[in-house]
């Protein structure tokens, strides 16, 4: 299998990175410079207010919306974690003792610490106007602010540094116990300072002590710079900014099984070459500068795949399809067999379609960067072994996904529930925006519905004794319908209530779009519901 990484950075507005396996797009990352990327950034912020009812604080970090800091993400809270890089066998460096808390989650006899459900209450950990060092763990979506943590972590190529911690851990994705023990021993031999914890990333597997030591020294120097900057910085301000998409991808995603990296910018080519010489000198030879006239993503048919990201329906090989619907609360994926009938047995047909669908669902979830709750409605199957086969296919196909996820077994209704880590807005939200006329639903009111709604508004307004004139501005089509189909009724209303009703049709308005207001005898606008 040939793996190729394509880096498209010729346009100043964006960076795009695609990973192909035997010519098939498997991963896609896009970063627009018009949208500030703050996930991973570290800020010196100030507590604006505390909400005990939801055990959270809101923090001013110097951006448009205050960040959200839950008690579980506050340092010394028992439920703190370091995400994907954590190890199930490792424990927190700080532990609550029986002397400090009781079982009911109230104040102990000394009255020092409050807990609720085993966690420290937010008010005992933070106070209004307090300065805090926080890191963005998830960017804000819609009207929601960014999710924050005080458990700061700084990723390197092979290691993750966790300040104010004594933890030495290994990524749970490294399953070989001998290798885990070897890596732990190396980290212990590096003798991290008492206030610095260290976690070995998946990329650190099979790495030498020299490579790990180099990464460790880099991270330690970086943390010292952050500490010094924090002491001098005003509040609020950014203390550390995550690397751009290109460097982030090389650091976190590039692996030795990638055969070549193709870049269409000489400046970025030199930048990556310099970075690789520092972290993986042996891989510099895999770099290739793309100089052809045809755009890089067109050359490898990536543009067609990007166009499909907004499509509801994704066709499956040799028949069948999946339909993806994104809502505010969740993402629903429906599997359809369509005209696929290679098997005479309906059960076999359902199994084959579901197997193909499971593989494509895993791919689409990665490509679209879908996060949150995902519901998959597979074609109904009767046999237990077939259900288990589909579950196994879905789980194995999702293994390559770097985001954290949890998958439940197929229910008796043929439904699979799963969650996937959401750090940044989905790729669709980066490329597309909601239609201003339909609100992103893909539907608008019919002409008839719009006119009936306006007639109801008029009937309500003529009963207002203060209103003498009613004026409606809408599209030519709607205005024409009202003046022709509803002229008789409008005239009756004018005569009965001694009102003036004016219908204006203008260019630029669409069906379903209308402005209605009433004025009194002196021409002043009258507020209406």
pLDDT of residue 394: 95
Question: Is the pLDDT assigned to residue 152 strictly greater than 80?
Answer: yes
Q: What is the mean pLDDT of residues 272-295?
A: 91
Asked whether residue 258 is domain-assigned, the answer is yes
Beta bridge partners of 331: 326, 374
- The strands making up 196-200's β-sheet, listed across from edge to edge, are 154-155, 159-163, 196-200, 168-170
Indicate the pTM of the whole model: 0.72
pLDDT of residue 103: 36
Asked whether residue 352 is domain-assigned, the answer is yes
pLDDT digits (tens, 9 = 90+) for 68-90: 999 999 986 433 333 333 333 33
Q: Are residues 273 and 378 in the same domain?
A: no
- Tell me the backbone φ, ψ of residue 438, rounded to 5 degrees: -110, 0
CATH number of the CATH domain containing 168: 2.40.50.140
Asked whether residue 273 is domain-assigned, the answer is yes
Question: Is the pLDDT assigned to residue 101 strictly greater than 50?
Answer: no
* Residue 79 burial class via C-beta count within 10 angstroms: exposed 0-12, middle 13-18, buried 19 and up: middle
Structural domain total, the chain? 4
Q: What is the mean pLDDT of residues 174-199?
A: 92
pLDDT of residue 111: 40
Q: How confident is the model at residue 517 (pLDDT cuts 50, 70, 90)?
A: confident
Q: Are residues 57 and 180 in the same domain?
A: yes
Alpha-carbon distance 307 to 489, whole Å? 48
Alpha-carbon distance 48 to 65, whole Å? 11
Q: Are residues 18 and 87 in the same domain?
A: no
Helix, strand, or coil (residue 317)? coil
Residue 401, domain extent: 313-431
Assess contact for 109 and 156: CB atoms under 8 A.
no
pLDDT of residue 453: 87
CATH number of the CATH domain containing 464: 3.40.1260.20
Count of residues in the chain: 529
CATH number of the CATH domain containing 11: 3.30.420.60
Q: Are residues 51 and 199 in the same domain?
A: yes
Asked whether residue 440 is domain-assigned, the answer is no
């Amino acid at each position: 299998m040939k793996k190729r990484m394509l880096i498209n950075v010729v346009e100043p507005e964006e960076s795009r990175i695609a990973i192909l396996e035997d010519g098939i797009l498997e991963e896609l990352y896009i970063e627009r410079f018009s949208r500030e990327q703050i996930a991973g950034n570290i800020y010196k912020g100030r507590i604006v207010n505390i909400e005990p009812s939801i055990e959270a604080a809101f923090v001013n970090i110097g951006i448009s919306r205050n960040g959200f800091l839950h008690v579980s993400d506050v340092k010394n809270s028992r439920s703190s974690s370091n995400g994907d890089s954590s190890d199930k066998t490792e424990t927190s460096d700080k532990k609550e003792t029986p002397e400090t808390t009781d079982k009911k989650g109230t104040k102990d006899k000394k009255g020092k610490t409050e807990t609720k459900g085993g966690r420290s209450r937010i008010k005992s950990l933070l106070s209004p106007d307090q300065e805090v060092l926080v890191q963005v763990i998830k960017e804000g979506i819609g009207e929601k602010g960014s999710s924050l943590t005080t458990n700061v972590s700084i990723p390197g190529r092979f290691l993750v540094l966790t300040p104010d911690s004594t933890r030495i851990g290994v990524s749970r994705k490294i399953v070989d116990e001998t290798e885990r023990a070897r890596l732990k021993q190396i980290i212990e031999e590096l003798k991290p300072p008492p206030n610095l914890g260290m976690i070995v990333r998946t990329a650190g597997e099979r790495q030498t002590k020299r490579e790990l030591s180099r990464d460790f020294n880099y991270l330690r120097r970086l943390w010292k710079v952050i500490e010094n900057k924090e002491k001098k910085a005003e509040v609020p301000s950014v203390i550390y900014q995550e690397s751009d998409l290109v460097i982030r991808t090389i650091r976190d995603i590039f692996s030795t099984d990638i055969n070549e990296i193709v870049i269409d910018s000489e400046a970025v080519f030199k930048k990556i070459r310099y970075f690789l010489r520092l972290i993986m000198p042996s891989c510099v030879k895999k770099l290739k500068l793309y100089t052809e006239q045809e755009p890089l993503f067109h050359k490898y048919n990536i543009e067609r795949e990007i166009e499909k990201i907004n499509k509801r329906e994704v066709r499956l090989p040799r028949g069948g399809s999946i339909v993806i619907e994104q809502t505010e609360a969740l993402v629903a994926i429906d599997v359809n067999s369509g005209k696929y009938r290679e098997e005479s047995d309906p059960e076999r047909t359902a199994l084959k379609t579901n197997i193909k669908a499971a593989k494509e669902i895993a791919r689409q979830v990665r490509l679209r960067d879908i996060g949150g709750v995902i519901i998959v409605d597979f074609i109904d199957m009767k046999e237990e072994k077939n259900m288990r086969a589909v579950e196994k296919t879905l789980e194995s196909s999702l293994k390559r996904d770097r985001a954290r996820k949890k998958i439940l077994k197929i229910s008796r209704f043929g439904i699979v529930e799963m969650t996937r880590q959401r750090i940044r807005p989905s790729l669709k939200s980066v490329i597309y925006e909601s239609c201003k006329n339909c609100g992103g639903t893909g539907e608008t009111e019919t002409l008839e519905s719009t006119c009936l709604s306006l007639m109801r508004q008029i009937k309500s307004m003529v009963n207002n004794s203060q209103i003498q004139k009613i004026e409606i501005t809408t599209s030519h089509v709607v205005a024409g319908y009202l003046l022709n189909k509803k002229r008789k009724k409008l005239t009756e209303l004018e005569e009965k209530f001694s009102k003036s009703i004016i219908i204006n049709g203008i260019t630029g308005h669409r069906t379903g779009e209308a402005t209605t207001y009433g004025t009194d005898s002196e021409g002043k606008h009258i507020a209406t519901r």
